[in-house]
Amino acid sequence: MPPDVSTESAALTAGTSAAVPTEKGLARPGLWPSAAVVILSAVVCLLWLASSATEATTGDPVAAPVASDLARVGEADLAAALATMDGSAAFMAQFRSRATGCPRPLAWVSLVQAPGQPPARIRLRSGPYFSPEFKLTDRPVRVAIPYPAPYEAGHGTLTAMQAGGGAVVALVPPWPVTAGGGEQTHPVSWRTASSCRQPNG
């Protein structure tokens, strides 16, 4: 008796359909890379927050934050640096060139919103000086501050007063300022070098 062609055809069709994954079983090409990016971003943010919390709360001397370097403002950038500062005319005059004595040196710091954080507002205290309040986004802003201790000392401490999301003071190494951390301090250091030339000296 000749085989039933319709029966064999139906079986072949069923076998082929079972061997080939349906559209629902296929992984969408962009799904795993997108998921990996999201997971990686979350891990980076969690690590940053964890390290910031440890740095801010631990009292162990071994875990004390490493001092960050301050860069000195050059004479060519002095006008731009002073435009980021606050103070009376007499206060600002001590940083400008003058006929007698050397001007007081200034340092640069860059401020930026921390990754994955909402916009933040921040003020810095450097010695007795309080900076204006800066509203931060994901674009760094460079501001000038007086050195927090006598320049010849080569080291001191900065204080950040923050509101809103976390921030980063982009020094070397960077200083993460945690959200809701209140006043936070960080050690800084700098190389001392006299570039002042006294008139008729």
CB atoms under 10 Å from CB of 80, counted, come to: 12
pLDDT of residue 174: 97
The HSE-up count of residue 38 (CA atoms within 13 Å, CB side) is: 6
pLDDT for the residue 198: 58
pLDDT tens by residue, 142-174: 999 999 999 999 999 999 998 899 999 999 999
Give the Cα separation of 178 and 114 in Å (integer).
9
* pLDDT at residue 41 in the model: 43
Please state the domain extents for the chain: 7-61, 65-189
pLDDT average per 10 residues of sequence, the chain (201 residues): 46 42 44 45 43 46 78 96 96 86 94 93 97 96 98 97 93 94 94 71 45
Of the candidates 76, 64, 91, 65, the residue with the CA atom closest to the CA atom of residue 146: 91
Question: Phi and psi for 51 in degrees, rounded to 5?
Answer: -65, -35
